[in-house]
Amino acid sequence: MAPVEIAKDLFFIQRGYLNANHFVWRGERPVLIDTGYLDGYGETLRYLQMLDVDPAGVGRIVNTHTHCDHIGGNRRIQEASGCEIALHRIGKHFIDQRDDWSTWWRFYGQKAEFFTCTRALEDGDLIDIGPHRFQVLYTPGHAADGIVLYCPKSRILISSDTLWQQDMAVMTLAVEGSRALFDMADSIEKIAGLDVETVYPGHGPPFSDFAGAVSRCRGRIRGFLTDPEAVGADVMKKIMIYTLLMHRQVPAERFFDLIRSAPWFDLTAERYFADDRYGVFQRFFTELKKRGLILEKDGVLTTPVQP
């Protein structure tokens, strides 16, 4: 999808689920908000080229959190440009400590590279994306270091994985702890009163029904609080698809072993489900195939979900 100019020289680039959506401010020292997944770096570069932005000229990267689909290009762009990289201070701590667990990379078996975080952001900070001034709002829940960026003047909310249009980003309580659902609920209330015209989420297209998304998200959190197994089911389904996106094509007979090769599967199955491991796998695998989200052809699995 072609980059869309959402404010002067500030472009929104819609990707898919393997690569989070990201932003480029085109100027003398370009600013990037998020940088996709590592394996999608070639495509990330093509988007920068499309906007005449040389990675070696980038002045600053701001990341909405340290998950793999948001920081994938950081290290390479920083090596080329020596750019500043800003994160919420908790995300800076994860990166400073080389903590690949809190960032979920090891838990989910994802590819990512450490980089140097040069600036810690605090809730309420103001950050300039070129001439556009955004407020930093700390919104933990999905990620302990999650932030959203809000521009009161243009009424733009860059909501990352804190607010999506329909669905809600995965809740990994095995890493974040059970209180993360309460953090998420508080974060939604924190942004609910903002005056927003357009939301640019971390995944999916932009949308204007901010109140509707907030109310759906509240309902989803209530559902998770009353039915903990639903949290586990959501992890199973989302990460099976994400694993297929990471590996693109997987021989059907290898999928169960691949799924079990990262810690998330056993820990999630143990936490939420009484069946044996293969039974848990079969249940969600069958459901995803029925829904057409996993395709099998000549013994090879793929997903039609956009990377």
Which spans of this chain sit near Zn ion (rule: CB under 5 A)? 67, 161
* Minimum distance, C-beta of residue 5 to Zn ion, in the bound complex (Å): 25
Which residue number, 161 or 183, has a Cβ lying nearer to Zn ion?
161
* Minimum distance, C-beta of residue 36 to Zn ion, in the bound complex (Å): 12
Determine the 3-state secondary structure of 67 from DSSP. coil
Per the CB < 8 A criterion, the answer to whether 251 and 299 are in contact is yes
Burial of 52 (C-beta count, 10 Å sphere; 0-12/13-18/19+)? exposed
Question: What CA–CA distance (Å, rounded) separates 202 from 196?
Answer: 16
**Which residue type, as a one-letter code, is found at position 37?**
Y
Which residue number, 99 or 287, has a Cβ lying nearer to Zn ion?
99
* Minimum distance, C-beta of residue 243 to Zn ion, in the bound complex (Å): 15
**Which residue type, as a one-letter code, is found at position 38?**
L
Identify each DSSP E strand in the chain by its residue range: 4-7, 10-13, 22-25, 31-33, 60-62, 84-88, 119-121, 126-129, 132-138, 147-151, 156-160, 198-201, 250-251, 295-297, 300-302
* Minimum distance, C-beta of residue 277 to Zn ion, in the bound complex (Å): 26
Per the CB < 8 A criterion, the answer to whether 68 and 33 are in contact is no
* Minimum distance, C-beta of residue 206 to Zn ion, in the bound complex (Å): 18
* Minimum distance, C-beta of residue 143 to Zn ion, in the bound complex (Å): 5
Closest alpha carbon to 114 in 78, 77, 75, 85: 75
Residue closest to Zn ion when measured from CB atoms = 67
* Minimum distance, C-beta of residue 256 to Zn ion, in the bound complex (Å): 25
Which residue number, 60 or 67, has a Cβ lying nearer to Zn ion?
67
Which residue number, 53 or 217, has a Cβ lying nearer to Zn ion?
217
* Minimum distance, C-beta of residue 65 to Zn ion, in the bound complex (Å): 6
Which residue number, 67 or 237, has a Cβ lying nearer to Zn ion?
67
Q: How far is CA 183 from CA 31, 142, 151, 188, in A?
A: 29, 8, 23, 9
Determine the 3-state secondary structure of 255 from DSSP. helix
Question: What CA–CA distance (Å, rounded) separates 205 from 212?
Answer: 15
Which residue number, 72 or 232, has a Cβ lying nearer to Zn ion?
72
Which residue number, 12 or 105, has a Cβ lying nearer to Zn ion?
105
Pairing state between β 84-88 and 119-121: parallel
**Which residue type, as a one-letter code, is found at position 47?**
Y
Which residue number, 19 or 303, has a Cβ lying nearer to Zn ion?
19
